[in-house]
């Protein structure tokens, strides 16, 4: 049993070593973490990987009185815009409006059904529909929609009970213009909004940012 305990302790130590990095920095600090898209966040931990972000040796010093705020930022998955300006610019410049086309068609299949004492094949109709970016897709209905990229940023406010909460920036077009007042984003800060298509094809091939 003693040898088993030694073996198990060795396994736990190896797992811990693989999961956590050695860090000889004293005091409260946060390491830089980067994901595959180049987005940056700072986390007060020593894990090699955290929710798609990989740890770097770079770090910033924090103050203990910031702990509640930092914990809130980690919990809400917040990234600072100032650390991600180049990535945000690249994403906004590459995102162009586009048109989607609605298609709909009906298929008929024959399903065996019991009618009295006789099993018969009965026709069952099923409607298939959806949106496509292919203007030559079959079974188009003529309905189209404009797909437009929007961006969400936040600021942290304290409510009446002294708790941290998030407030969204009302402008969804250019979050960099409001980064001083709304300095935070989440990893998935870009979303597509759908509008009734009122533009012709030539107009929808231009950028709106």
What are the pLDDT digits (tens) for 141-183?
999 999 999 999 999 999 999 999 999 999 999 999 999 999 9
The DSSP secondary-structure symbol of 47 reads B
Tell if the pTM clears 0.85, that is, is over it: no
* SS3 assignment, position 198: coil
Print burial letters for 21-60: b (CB count within 10 Å at least 16), e (below 16). Answer: eeeeeeeeebbbbbbeeebbbbbbeeeeebeebebeeebe
Cα(202)–Cα(205) distance, integer angstroms:
6
For position 208, what pLDDT does the model report?
37
Q: Is 78 exposed, middle or buried (0-12, 13-18, 19+ CB in 10 A)?
A: buried
Confidence of residue 134 (pLDDT cuts 50, 70, 90): very high
Beta carbons of 58 and 15 less than 8 angstroms apart: no
State the pLDDT at residue 67. 93
Q: What is residue 119's predicted lDDT score, i.e. its pLDDT? A: 81
Joined tokens for residue 152: 């969400």
The predicted pLDDT at position 8 comes to 46
């Amino acid at each position: 049993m003693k040898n088993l305990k030694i073996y198990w302790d060795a396994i736990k130590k190896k797992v811990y070593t693989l999961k956590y990095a050695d860090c000889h920095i004293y005091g409260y600090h946060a390491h830089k973490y980067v994901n595959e898209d180049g987005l940056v966040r700072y986390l007060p931990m020593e894990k090699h990987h955290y929710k798609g972000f990989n740890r770097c040796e770079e770090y910033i010093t924090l103050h203990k009185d910031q702990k509640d705020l930092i914990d809130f930022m980690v919990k809400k998955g917040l990234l600072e815009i100032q650390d991600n300006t180049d990535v945000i610019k690249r994403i906004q410049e590459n995102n162009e409006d586009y048109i989607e086309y609605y298609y709909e068609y009906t298929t008929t299949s024959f399903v065996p059904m019991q009618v009295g004492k006789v099993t018969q094949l009965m026709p069952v109709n099923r409607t298939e529909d959806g949106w496509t970016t292919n203007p030559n897709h079959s079974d188009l209905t003529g309905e189209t929609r404009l797909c437009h990229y929007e961006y969400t940023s936040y600021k942290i406010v304290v409510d009446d009970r002294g708790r941290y909460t998030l407030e969204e920036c009302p402008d969804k077009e250019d979050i960099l213009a409001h980064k001083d007042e709304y300095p935070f984003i989440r990893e998935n800060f870009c979303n597509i909004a759908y509008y009734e298509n009122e533009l012709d094809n030539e107009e929808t091939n231009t950028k709106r940012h």
